[in-house]
Structure 1
């Protein structure tokens, strides 16, 4: 596990260093990097939960997708922070940047967070404009809808914010521009010359002072980057922002009964080996103490034992937990999960899903026993549940088991993976085996000879491809999770997420779809 964690840390470092030599050039110009700006923006000593740092991994684009996103506390207010990385192609947005920014906007909307954009971008990455132009308009739509919901949007402009990038400050509630650095215009001097024949310069066309004194597009003129960050913090301080949900007393809970460091040793290298999720649960949830006499109250422990369900607290927040004890989900487990999800909705309690599943059981006995309708019952419950869902993929997450356990397609508020995680339609060996059976039967029907040696080569290629595409960094690169985390950080990460969720009241579903009994 330590080796896998080290590998993920190396990949994360690629995002930090994505600007290469341009980081030094950026500093030479007296400018701060995206992460330095964030560090000064958030409250001293507070945590910044970076989200989707591996976006773009394995693609043609830089790891990190030319931006940094995450949740930070500014003047005591939890905010979504989106910072362009100007050291990577001038902060230009590519298709992976869109995925990342759209997910950040979704998290902000669903968890009632103000958004702070630290803006310095040349707009769209022109070589990939066909993949950006049409869907990219959603970003501006999200800004205006956030304002209509009374979710504040703040834009701090540190440099170029041109073309589509100009609409970020143009559609924000509050705009701060840095003197002699910010340049905000729909078209720069060269394009204006081509379009209208007009001669102009950056400052008169879109400089911070012009926008602050003449156009009115800027609300505050900052003398430098540090002053801009000070003004951003003062703006947040004056938002009159209050949590609408309930916030537990931080002194009302105890640390886990078992040592979280031991999470490193618990999870098997071979995902086929059994793993008792209770060992992980007791190292993540609050320990026994005042107001929490039992760390984990298991629900229906003797029925559907391949799935563990129960109630706990995490940083004082009540949660329901659904965790795979053995990889396979059968009818009993599916029905147990559906009932438990209904109970969580009845008492307005968030749910935490801990994945280690190979999917739903197959075979004549199980088909005759109704595995399809029972699996559908569980997926129905997950789909229509209204309480917030958190998902951590610890190990395997294959097939429809990914769906039933609240995978990405089922809108979890947050989804994280461990470095040990793997996710795909099915495991590489199973997929290759199915291919071989189908290919053999096809050859027999056509009366063609079977070439085992030739197929073994294809089989090896397919198995390696599926293995590579099921790894956490590959899935994280596609923004199918919100980050790959060290297992030892699970409690802290989930604690931040639950605090964010408590920005508004939790209300469970009043009804579900038709359950096929």
Structure 2
């Protein structure tokens, strides 16, 4: 696990250093990098939960997708911060940047987080415009909907914000522009010349001074970048922002067991089961006043391949559903469905801890109703309206990924450990299935099956599925919100629960038809 974590840090470093030689050129111009701007924006010593740092991993675009996104505290207010990285192709947005931005705005909307855009972008990456243009307008729509929901949006413009990018400040509640740097226009001087024949310059067309004095598109004119960040902090300080959700218990205890033990928990072979209670005891609050028992297990003697129970994490009440053994059978599915309904009855968030190979198959289980029992669990997950958090610790295969609230079921947050793997099934199983199908096909045609000739295909499929199921690949596709060091799980989840508490929520009071 230590080797996997070291490899993770190396991959995350690629996002930090994505601009390469252009970082020094950027600084030589007297400008701050995206991460410098974020650090100055946040309260001193405040945590920054960076989200999707590996977006675009494995693609033709730099790791991080020319965008830095995350949750940080500004003047005591938790905010979603979205910063263009101008050292990566001038901050141009590629298809993965757009997807990453959408996910950040989804998180902000679901959790009532004010959004601060630190803007400096050349607009769309033109060679991939066909993948960006049509869906890209959603980002502007989301900003206006956030404002309509009384969740503030702030835009700080440090440089170019042209074409579609002009609508980011144009649709924000508060706009700050840096003098002699910000350039906000629908079309730059060359395009205006081509379209209308008009001669113009950057400042008269879209400079910060003009927008502050003439067009009114800027609310505050900053003398430099640091002044712009100061103005952004003052703007947030005046939002009169208040949380309306759950108030955490005061004086909670640290976990019973040392979180460092999480590194030894996951077997190198994910076929080997491990006890999730060992993970839970290292993540949740330990016993203390008002929390006499760290984890109150629910139905411990029934459906023992699934562990369910109630706990407290950083003072917040939470229900936990964790795979105790990889496979989910009828008892486990029914147990989970009941537990999810109970969590909704008492308005308690749910944490799903994955290590599953999926639902059990075979004649005995099909006849026993595994489909309808699995459907009950999926129904409960789908229609649950309390916030869900998901951590993929080990395997997450097949419909087990769905039943355990994978990405398709819209958890508020989803993180993976470096040990995680997700796919339709395990590599060996998938390759084996293909071999059986090929063998049956040959036999149906009266031909002998050549196992030796099929062996390279089987090996290629197994290797491909193994590679595609690794956490970096899935994180690069923005199927999670980040790959995290297991030891950071408690802190990460604590931040998420605090963010969720921005807005009150209520559990589902009705479900669809359960097949009984």
TM-score range, shorter chain: over 0.9
Shift in Å at residue 447 of structure 1? 2.1
* Equivalent in the alignment of 2:403: 404
Shift in Å at residue 299 of structure 1? 0.2
Superposed counterparts of 1:275-424, under 5 Å? 275-424=274-423
* Equivalent in the alignment of 2:120: 120
**Contact kept? 1:351, 1:387, Cα under 8 Å:** yes
Query: 1:496 and 2:495 equivalent?
Result: yes
Shift in Å at residue 247 of structure 1? 2.0
CA distance in 2, matches of 1:355, 1:252: 29
**Contact kept? 1:178, 1:228, Cα under 8 Å:** yes
CA distance in 1, matches of 2:221, 2:445: 76
After superposition, the C-alpha distances for 1:170-196 in whole angstroms (9 at most, x for unaligned) are: 110000000000000111111111111
Please state whether the residue corresponding to 1:515 is helix, strand or coil: coil
Cα-Cα RMSD: 0.6
* Equivalent in the alignment of 2:134: 134
CA distance in 1, matches of 2:465, 2:246: 44
* Equivalent in the alignment of 2:175: 175
Shift in Å at residue 246 of structure 1? 2.4
Shift in Å at residue 292 of structure 1? 0.8
* Equivalent in the alignment of 1:25: 25
Please state whether the residue corresponding to 1:438 is helix, strand or coil: helix
Shift in Å at residue 492 of structure 1? 0.1
CA distance in 2, matches of 1:189, 1:448: 70
Please state whether the residue corresponding to 2:414 is helix, strand or coil: strand
Shift in Å at residue 448 of structure 1? 2.5
CA distance in 1, matches of 2:40, 2:478: 27
* Equivalent in the alignment of 2:101: 101
CA distance in 2, matches of 1:447, 1:201: 77
* Equivalent in the alignment of 1:157: 157
CA distance in 1, matches of 2:159, 2:264: 47
With the length of structure 2 as denominator, give the TM-score of the two structures: 0.99
CA distance in 2, matches of 1:45, 1:25: 28
Shift in Å at residue 454 of structure 1? 1.8
**Contact kept? 1:349, 1:506, Cα under 8 Å:** no
* Equivalent in the alignment of 1:444: 443
CA distance in 1, matches of 2:446, 2:79: 65
Query: 1:243 and 2:243 equivalent?
Result: yes
CA distance in 2, matches of 1:429, 1:266: 24
**Bigger mean CA offset, 453-462 vs 336-345:** 453-462
Residue correspondences, number: 516
CA distance in 2, matches of 1:476, 1:274: 24
Please state whether the residue corresponding to 2:40 is helix, strand or coil: helix
**Contact kept? 1:182, 1:208, Cα under 8 Å:** yes
Please state whether the residue corresponding to 2:65 is helix, strand or coil: coil
- Structure 2 gaps of 5+ residues are none
**Contact kept? 2:246, 2:316, Cα under 8 Å:** no
**Contact kept? 2:115, 2:154, Cα under 8 Å:** yes
Shift in Å at residue 280 of structure 1? 0.3
Shift in Å at residue 13 of structure 1? 0.5
CA distance in 2, matches of 1:291, 1:49: 29
- Once superposed, which parts of structure 1, at least 4 consecutive aligned residues long, lie more than 4 Å away? none
CA distance in 1, matches of 2:477, 2:129: 19
After superposition, the C-alpha distances for 1:401-457 in whole angstroms (9 at most, x for unaligned) are: 000000000010000000000000000000000000000000111123322222100
Shift in Å at residue 216 of structure 1? 0.5
Shift in Å at residue 248 of structure 1? 1.6
**Contact kept? 2:256, 2:285, Cα under 8 Å:** yes
After superposition, the C-alpha distances for 1:322-367 in whole angstroms (9 at most, x for unaligned) are: 0000000000000000000000000000000000000000000000
Please state whether the residue corresponding to 1:127 is helix, strand or coil: helix
Shift in Å at residue 263 of structure 1? 0.5
CA distance in 2, matches of 1:491, 1:514: 36
CA distance in 2, matches of 1:274, 1:110: 34
Shift in Å at residue 168 of structure 1? 0.3
Shift in Å at residue 17 of structure 1? 0.6
Superposed counterparts of 1:55-134, under 5 Å? 55-134=55-134
- Structure 1 gaps of 5+ residues are none
